[in-house]
Amino acid sequence: MLVAGNWKMNTDLTAARQLASAVVSAVGATSGVDVAVCPPYVSLDAVFSAVHGSTIRVGAQDMHAEDSGAFTGAISAPMLRSVGCHYVILGHSERREYFGETDASVNAKVHKAIAAKLVPIVCVGERLEDRDAGVQNDVVSAQLKKGLEDVSSAWPSGLVVAYEPVWAIGTGRTASPEQAEAMHGHIRGLLVDQFGEEIGRHIFILYGGSVKPGNAAELFSRNDVDGGLIGGAALSAEDFAAIVRAAEGV
Ligand code: PEP
């Protein structure tokens, strides 16, 4: 199980330090659950220091597909490694919607992240109109196939997939446990097809979309739901810790 908090564009440096320290205290020692926090770039270094000595790892919310060069405003995988990042979220629906992220750019980033020994958390998920049209499986299949194209099972670091139905992110609407389980089973099949039984069965598939302390246990208890990518609730150390405990209880 993995529970990762996506702080999005929230917290300045002071608030990020405070939240990271509060998360360390509230989460405490964990058993059987990996925990990560993903603050804004400018706070990665400080948050890495704040969680140092705990089991909590740090991730970034995006990266550029090149290692260095004339890409004003961009941050590369080696830079993320240099400030202690273990994970990087790639292809979040907000990056797709507001910043022109495509499956092809996600794929380029996945390869670079793996080469830099970062663990990519690759986000996929359908829009409401896709689900209403009953094509959610096709949409997610295409995103995953293109996003993970030419990724071989010989990666040096690891890989995480996050299923985040766009209509459930930040809306208070959650996929029902049945909807989540069905899609996670579909994603599992795709991962097994690409990477084989041994590896495909062990890749964490996170659910994301309005996960809260009150619904986490039910979602996490479902087949192939290996934890959560948490947005809004990750900004409260108590709520985030409660979600981690829900994962531990599964
Ligand atoms: C997210 O941003 O990845 C997310 C799941 O957000 P929320 O939990 O707020 O829906």
Q: What is the pLDDT of residues 140-199, one digit of tens each?
A: 999 999 999 999 877 656 999 999 999 999 888 889 999 999 999 999 999 999 999 989
Question: Does some domain include residue 122?
Answer: yes
Please tell me whether residue 127 adopts helix, strand or coil conformation: coil
Question: Does some domain include residue 9?
Answer: yes
Q: Are 3 and 230 in contact (CB under 8 A)?
A: yes
Q: Does residue 209 come out as left (phi exceeding 0), alpha (psi in the -120 to 50 range) or beta?
A: left
Residue 16 CA, distance from chain mean position? 19
d(CA 207, CA 199): 19
Mean pLDDT for back-to-back runs of 10 residues, the chain (250 residues): 98 98 95 96 98 97 98 98 98 97 98 95 97 97 97 79 95 92 98 92 96 97 98 98 96
Mutate to test the pocket of ligand 1, among 7, 93, 205, 229 (most ligand atoms within 8 A of CB): 229
pTM for this prediction: 0.97
Question: Does some domain include residue 109?
Answer: yes
Tell me the CA–centroid distance for residue 230 and ligand 1, in Å.
5
Residue numbers of the domain that contains 226: 2-233
Residue at token pair 């909590």: 56
d(CA 131, CA 106): 22
Atom of ligand 1 nearest to the CA of 8: 2
Residue positions annotated with a catalytic role: 92, 164
* 236 Cβ inside 6 Å of ligand 1: no
Number of folded domains in the chain? Answer: 1
* 114 Cβ inside 6 Å of ligand 1: no
Instruction: Residue 80: name the closest of 61, 99, 93 by CA.
Output: 61
Question: Does some domain include residue 241?
Answer: no
d(CA 107, CA 69): 19
What's 117's DSSP letter? T
Kindly report the CATH number assigned to the domain that includes residue 157: 3.20.20.70
Q: Are 190 and 216 in contact (CB under 8 A)?
A: no
Instruction: Residue 225: name the closest of 173, 170, 160 by CA.
Output: 160
Tell me the CA–centroid distance for residue 213 and ligand 1, in Å.
13
Question: Does some domain include residue 240?
Answer: no
